[in-house]
Structure 1
């Protein structure tokens, strides 16, 4: 049986029971990781049928999330910036110990379910949940009508236990995807790293662009975003992972390229002292420092002159920084992966 499921049609997926955690899990930050690890620990502690996969006995731990995210579904013209792609989220949840991952299609059908119906169809009938764990203040169901109190009440009637983990705090505030997005947009990468538990990077497969950078003396490895909104924009000093044994120093642009009339967001990474073909290669671009905002220049010579200044500054910053050993060897933060549509 595949570890990933997208809907709840058919018979029970976990006929002997399961331990379920639910969340958006965008970013898989310290709070998300605490929730998943708690659910996994509880699943291993509960007796029953052996869990599938490499984790041994207990009940299967199921991490339940949604794609697209509910906020994206309800606000398609102004979606929130994404920290994590669907594929990277699934990989990260599995790496945290989830035996199965539900990435439910959040559409008109699912969004129209009231909270009690969601509990009955998804958690009781399909997953046979014995325990359900959520983060602080979690709401679900039509009009966000469900909460931990409803889970407690239905659980007493249907034979499962529900719990809410304590918030993970950092610098006196709760760790959240909203705080991480704000830190990234401000260029506060050290703060984002602390909340994520790892450096922030964007990964994906290198695609062909207009090859304008090559004609200007700055060939780039390009990553597209598949219609999703990136969490940051501008020019950055970066490390690129996945090209050689060690991360490679680079300067990267993330945005719509106003000087050359670009439209869709594109990540363009120029690797210093590298000459090779990366098309089709999967890489990760780790962000170290923001150099400036994206801007429009009067002509290409003015753009190239600024690119020279950006490259020189990025080299200096990276020469002074500690080289990362690969921020996502354990958990990727990738915005462009094979489609889950």
Structure 2
């Protein structure tokens, strides 16, 4: 049975031990997946539970005081993805001053061994941990020899002559290169969330939208996109999406607004996923609503043309 907990001090210590993997796992890209799968395979071979240790907020966000790199996915998507990869328990630790202040040796003894009963700990290349990032794989290996667990790592995962990394994915998304992003993620880039009520201005303009708030303070991309919507039926639905602050109507907070073609249903509070297929243009500020609507008409026509070949291949 899958299990999620936030506080390792309250974790149920398993006397038989566990196999642990540690990481931010933002986006769960191919490198993360390789690490998690090795840990799961090791756990099955040892007849132990596989535990993923990750953090919320992400350490980079915590130290940047909210101005860190854009998130590639929501916390919920990260946890659900870890469970799909075979993880039995996710330790979603609150990354705060207390946790960040632990020296590496204390983190190992108190969290990995004391709370989780680690018999093996898997980490990625260039892994650093503990106060001031003083811990590395060599320290983990020494502590493992002292405390009775194996320290294990994997080689970097490469795609197209480059190492898979969250930074590389953010760069691809910012450039609108969704094919490259998908090759690094191992799947199309999708933003998931629950549909929230907006100002309903789009409905008055002839373009009702499903609105999603973004995971984190910033998005790795912005603009107008041809998209597909997952979660409302057996097949994805064609759509056109805007991700930005809506400067023409005085918006401030970034919002993902999606107009689903030939669709009229009440989907407030439904969880959906927006798959990004192609960037159409950057977000612009228009001189009034008529100019905005005229551009929305052009965007919708262009999105339909972009998405039409995908529907042809699906029905062939």
Matched, 1:289 2:282: no
Distance in 2 separating the partners of 1:78 and 1:324: 42
Corresponding residue for residue 234 of structure 1: 223
Q: CA RMSD for the aligned pairs?
A: 1.5
Distance in 2 separating the partners of 1:318 and 1:252: 13
State the Cα distance separating 1:245 from its structure 2 match: 2.4
Gaps of 5+ in 1: 47-57, 326-341
Q: TM-score, normalised by structure 2?
A: 0.96
Corresponding residue for residue 261 of structure 1: 250
Distance in 2 separating the partners of 1:150 and 1:295: 51
State the Cα distance separating 1:11 from its structure 2 match: 6.5
Corresponding residue for residue 9 of structure 2: 9
Q: 1:15, 1:127 within 8 Å by CA — same for their partners in 2?
A: no
SS of residue in 2 equivalent to 1:104:
strand
State the Cα distance separating 1:12 from its structure 2 match: 5.2
User: Could you tell me which of 88, 92, 98 is aligned with 1:103?
Assistant: 92
Corresponding residue for residue 43 of structure 2: 43
State the Cα distance separating 1:230 from its structure 2 match: 1.9
Matched, 1:275 2:264: yes
Matched, 1:167 2:156: yes
Alignment map for 1:51-90 (pairs within 5 Å):
58-90=47-79
Q: TM-score, normalised by structure 1?
A: 0.89
Alignment map for 1:104-143 (pairs within 5 Å):
104-143=93-132
State the Cα distance separating 1:227 from its structure 2 match: 4.7
SS of residue in 2 equivalent to 1:73:
helix
Q: Relative to structure 2, which stretch is displaced further, 10-19 or 282-291?
A: 10-19
Gaps of 5+ in 2: none
Which string of whole-angstrom CA distances, capped at 9 and with x for unpartnered residues, describes residues 260-301 of structure 1?
A: 111111110001111221112111111000001111111111
SS of residue in 1 equivalent to 2:300:
helix
User: Could you tell me which of 250, 256, 264 is aligned with 2:239?
Assistant: 250
SS of residue in 2 equivalent to 1:9:
helix
SS of residue in 2 equivalent to 1:19:
strand
Distance in 2 separating the partners of 1:11 and 1:41: 23
State the Cα distance separating 1:242 from its structure 2 match: 1.6
State the Cα distance separating 1:7 from its structure 2 match: 1.3
Which of structure 1's runs of 4+ aligned residues deviate more than 6 A? none
Which string of whole-angstrom CA distances, capped at 9 and with x for unpartnered residues, describes residues 18-66 of structure 1?
A: 10000000010110000000000001111xxxxxxxxxxx000001100
State the Cα distance separating 1:232 from its structure 2 match: 1.2
Q: 1:12, 1:128 within 8 Å by CA — same for their partners in 2?
A: no
Distance in 2 separating the partners of 1:205 and 1:76: 26
> How many residue pairs align between the two structures?
314
Q: 1:65, 1:103 within 8 Å by CA — same for their partners in 2?
A: yes
Distance in 1 separating the partners of 2:2 and 2:22: 19
Distance in 2 separating the partners of 1:132 and 1:246: 40
Distance in 1 separating the partners of 2:269 and 2:285: 30
Task: Identify the structure with bigger relative contact order (alpha carbons < 8 Å, sequence gap 6+).
Answer: 1
